[in-house]
Amino acid sequence: MNDLDARLVAAHAAGDRAALADLYEEAADAASDEVACGFYLTQAYVYALEAGLAKAAALRARLVRMGRETPEG
C-alpha cells in the first residue's frame, strides 16, 4: 500500500471528511487518466461538501471544466 492509500484508509477510519477531501484531491491530481481523475475529484467534492469546506466551490468548478458537472448545478 502506498503512502496516499494508507492516509486515505486512516482518514476513512477516523471519519475525517476534511482530510478525505484533501486526500482525494491529491489522488485526482496524481491520477494517470481522466476517468480516475474524475472519480477522485468527485470524491473530493463530496467530502468537501459534507465537511462544509470552502474548497468545494473550486472542486466543483474543476468538475464543470471536465464536463462531469453541469454549470447550473
Average pLDDT over residues 14-31: 97
Q: Nearest-5° angle of CA 49, CA 33, CA 35?
A: 50
Mark residue 67 as left, alpha or beta (left: phi above 0; alpha: psi -120 to 50; beta: remaining).
left
Q: What is the pLDDT of residue 12?
A: 97
Averaged over 23-35, what is the pLDDT?
96
**Where exactly are the structural domains of the chain?**
3-65
Band (73; pLDDT cuts 50, 70, 90): low
In the predicted structure, residue 1 carries a pLDDT above the cut 80: no
DSSP annotation string for 17-52: HHHHHHHHHHHHHH-SSHHHHHHHHHHHHHHHHHHT
Q: Report pLDDT for 58.
A: 97
pLDDT digits (tens, 9 = 90+) for 33-71: 999 999 999 999 999 999 999 999 999 999 999 999 998
